[in-house]
A and B are shown apart, each in its own frame.
Chain A
Amino acid sequence: MNLLTAGLPSTAIPLFAGLLDAPVGVAHYLVVGAILFTSGVVCMALKRNALGVLMGIELVLNGANVNFVAFSSPYLRGEGSASLGLDGQLIALFVILLAAAEAAVALAITLNFYNNHATVDIDQADDLKG
């Protein structure tokens, strides 16, 4: 038990202890958003496939969206904390739309790169290196 919870802050232990019968708060959603964001950043840094980098970008935007929706939710907010209200949901909608546009352009660039170089390895994309 000590090993299991050694890395967590002390306030996190009651959060995980009463997970099944306690109501879900903003902090739970923030944890999910943090894991998605970190996975996306590691995916962007680690993958050598251009499509893998694109998927990492999608994960990062999705983690940010989880945070926006959690802060705008009427069910999750505690007493005395500020809320984004409807603005958070609208920002999340705009993020989804811009992510779709970004994915379309990035895929077109990837296809163009594949047509010219016959690979999607981003380590081969050093034509502009001086």
Chain B
Amino acid sequence: MITSLLASAVPMSGLLAALPVAAVNWHSVLFLLFAAVACACAVAVVLADNVVRMAFYLVLSLAATAGLFFLAGAEFVGAMQLMIYVGGTLVLLVFGVMLTAQAPFVAIKTSTGDRVLAGMVGAALLAVLLQAAFRVEPWRRPAMAAVAAPAATPIGMALLGVRVDEPVAGAPPAAVRSGYLLPFEIVSVHLLVVLVGAAYLARAKRRRTPRAIDVAASSVGPVVTAREAARSSASALASGGQR
């Protein structure tokens, strides 16, 4: 049994040795995977006509972008991306799709001329951005740095107004660098105001078309109201007669 396992394992190791596994940079391979998913799903968001499929492709694109953040060493930003975007904003978007989508409105077509024009504008913008990305020489040849410390604690301290991270080259010394306490407070109040405003805007209003239960109740309703009207008019007559 063991010998047969070994015999089956030896060709596998030979196969692995034949592949240039040791030469492959797995950071690059994972980057390529996440970047391909992010870009393909972003293009699919543009090309899809169904709103629900657009939301699904957007989820995939944002999650793959969180993977790119993890690969770049920004693990706290990646976790926030997963929690806020994929967990919060997309749930909100899908609820919006569910609350607004009716059969004729799910796919609203765009004309072909608009598509061609938007494709040309997009290609021009992409060409400009790619030129800018490849223009600077040090951006293309990274020097592999040593493994950096986790960034969650410096981010938390910076949000409290104290900078404990290493200053980068060319930055002012640590005593002069600003913390982020004031923007943190502004953003927190801003979130509160925005959520109150959103809840006010999207609150449930009185319906224009009566529901079925209201229609059933209104068939009983006029009898009661007629009786009440008769009683009130009778009392008004009586009071008028007395005067």
Which A residues contact B (CB, under 8 angstroms)? 7-9, 11-12, 15, 19-43, 45-49, 51-52, 54-56, 58-59, 62, 65-66, 69-70, 72-86, 89-90, 92-94, 96-101, 103-105, 107-112, 114-115, 119-121
The interface on chain B, measured as residues whose beta carbon lies within 8 A of the other chain's beta carbons, has a size of 99
Task: A58-B62, A73-B73 are known; give 18 further A-B pairs, CB within 8 A.
Answer: A11-B134, A20-B24, A24-B27, A27-B134, A27-B139, A36-B61, A40-B42, A43-B45, A56-B45, A65-B77, A69-B77, A75-B73, A78-B142, A78-B143, A86-B154, A100-B85, A100-B88, A121-B108
Q: Is the CB of B28 within 8 A of A21?
A: yes
A86-B155, A120-B100 as given contacts; A20 in contact with B28, CB under 8 Å: yes
Contact status B68-A58, CB under 8 Å:
no
Q: Which residues in chain B, 129-145, are within 8 Å of chain A measured between CB atoms? A: 129-134, 136-145
The number of residue pairs between A and B whose CB atoms lie closer than 8 Å in the complex comes to 289
Can you show 17 pairs from A to B with CB atoms below 8 A apart? Answer: A9-B130, A23-B27, A25-B140, A25-B141, A26-B138, A29-B68, A34-B126, A48-B109, A58-B62, A75-B145, A75-B148, A80-B138, A86-B163, A107-B95, A107-B202, A110-B96, A119-B105
Which residues from A are CB-within-8-Å of B148? 74-75
**B149 CB, min distance to chain A CBs, angstroms:** 9
Given contacts A47-B110, A48-B110, A84-B168, contact A112 B89 (CB under 8 A): no
Residues of B within 8 A of A74 (CB): 73, 145, 148
The residue of chain B having its C-beta at the shortest distance from the C-beta of A67 within the complex is: B133
Contact between A22 and B42, CB atoms less than 8 A apart: no
Q: In the assembled complex, which residues on chain B have CB atoms less than 8 Å from the CB atom of A75?
A: 27, 72-73, 142, 144-145, 148
Which secondary structure dominates where chain A touches chain B? Answer: helix
> What's the nearest-Cβ distance from chain B to residue A52, in Å?
6
Partner of B42, one of A35, A51, A69, A115: A35
C-alpha gap A96/B77 in the complex (Å): 9
Q: Is the CB of A59 within 8 A of B115?
A: no
Nearest CB on B from A37, distance (A)? 7
Given known A-B contacts A75-B72, A86-B155, A30 and B143 have beta carbons under 8 A apart = no
